[in-house]
């Protein structure tokens, strides 16, 4: 398998600060494991952004059948 990092930036586009928010992650794949699926976020003031990152593991290899018969 492979290990990597999932990262991004969340921006509060609303008119008020966001407090006690939780990022809920779902890989959508049986082959990708995110470990924890919920991540507490810091307070994000209105108009501000915060970065996030967490580890991810990809298991198994996808096989492609190239047999043309």
C-alpha 41/C-alpha 38 separation (Å) is 10
Instruction: Give the model's pLDDT for residue 54.
Output: 85
Q: Is 54 exposed, middle or buried (0-12, 13-18, 19+ CB in 10 A)?
A: middle
Tens digit of each residue's pLDDT (9 = 90 or more) over 17-69: 999 999 998 888 889 898 888 889 999 999 999 999 888 999 976 655 566 55
C-alpha 19/C-alpha 38 separation (Å) is 15
pTM of the model: 0.70
Instruction: Give the model's pLDDT for residue 35.
Output: 80
Show the CA angle centred on residue 30, arms to residues 26 and 31, nearest 5°. 105
């Amino acid at each position: 398998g492979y290990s990597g990092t999932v990262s991004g930036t969340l921006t509060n586009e609303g008119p008020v600060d966001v407090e006690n928010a939780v990022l809920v992650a779902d890989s959508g794949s049986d082959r990708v494991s995110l470990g924890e699926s919920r991540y507490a976020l810091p307070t994000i003031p209105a108009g501000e952004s915060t970065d996030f990152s967490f580890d991810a593991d990809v298991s198994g290899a996808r096989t492609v059948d190239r047999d043309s018969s």
